[in-house]
Amino acid sequence: MNTLIIKPKKTFSFVGDLKEIWEYRGLLYFLTWRDLKVRYKQTAVGVAWVIFQPVVTMVVFNVFFGKFLKTPSDGIPYPIFVYTGLLFWQFFSQSLSDVSGSLVNNKNIITKIYFPRLIIPISNVVTAFVDFLVASLVLAGLIIYYHYTPHLIGLVILPILVIITFLAILGLGLLFASVNVKYRDVKYVIPFFIQILMFVTPVIYPASLLGKYSKILALNPMTGVISTARATLLGTAPINWALVLASLIAALVFFAIGYVYFKKTEKYFADIV
């Protein structure tokens, strides 16, 4: 029989956390399942909403930024250019906003039951990832429609891009979520922050637009993710491995900061949430 020791927590271990999350994977599954089920039950249109949102955004952006403003798009038709960006961006922004509020929104569970607290933010990202997969079908349709041939190496790169996005979301999200437990006014700042972040991410414009300043943009992990996704999926440009690496490192740094802050404050969540 395994013995459990409860004592004042002073240290934490990443490997230990991974093990524990694996142990609680059933709960992770059910929390994700709940979020998906509830969302698809509540909105009359259900799954369609997940597609509708990026598609409508794409159409509007295409009209204003593509047609009227004539935003350059590296020679790629603007609809597919902006949709590729939006697909990843909405995965990022949606789950970042969900994760940031996740601890407060689940306070009824946190104050009553023990489980690795990381499960809640992770479940939020996984939920948003399911939406991302559904919305990807539209991109597949666009690729066929515009006769693009994705790079075969995409099979390797796309999972890496998804991992970078995961890390970036969790990094910022864990930080915001823990701060939000203590300071409830933070939630008003987050949507504003995400909105600003969109304009410093090449979603509606190509990174090349910034010329020599595009290097600064690379500090934002989503820059590398979106630029590389375009290069890979549309096969229009060679893959910039340095950019992928820069994004990965930036995302890892974000993740480390968010994770450490989360773990440092985690033990008090139940007392103050």
Query: Which stretches of the chain bind other proteins, using CB under 8 A?
Result: 1-9, 26-27, 29-31, 33-34, 37-38, 41-42, 108-115, 179, 182-186, 267-268, 270-272
> Is the CB of 108 or the CB of 192 nearer to other proteins?
108
C-alpha closest to that of 127 among 86, 91, 172:
91
User: Which residues in 131-169 are b (16+ Cβ under 10 Å) and which e?
Assistant: bbeebbebbeebbeeeeeebbeebeebbebbbebbbbbb
Least distance (Å) between residue 251 CB and other proteins: 25
> Is the CB of 35 or the CB of 227 nearer to other proteins?
35
Measured CA to CA, the distance from residue 114 to residue 96 in angstroms comes to 24
> Is the CB of 87 or the CB of 119 nearer to other proteins?
119
What letter would DSSP give residue 220?
Answer: S
- Amino acid symbol at 119: I
C-alpha closest to that of 148 among 83, 89, 244, 218:
83
> Is the CB of 114 or the CB of 192 nearer to other proteins?
114
Least distance (Å) between residue 197 CB and other proteins: 19
Least distance (Å) between residue 94 CB and other proteins: 19
Least distance (Å) between residue 73 CB and other proteins: 39
Cβ atoms of residues 257 and 175 within 8 Å: yes
Least distance (Å) between residue 171 CB and other proteins: 19
> Is the CB of 9 or the CB of 215 nearer to other proteins?
9
Least distance (Å) between residue 115 CB and other proteins: 8
> Is the CB of 155 or the CB of 272 nearer to other proteins?
272
Start-to-end CA distance of the chain, whole Å, equals 33
Cβ atoms of residues 173 and 99 within 8 Å: yes
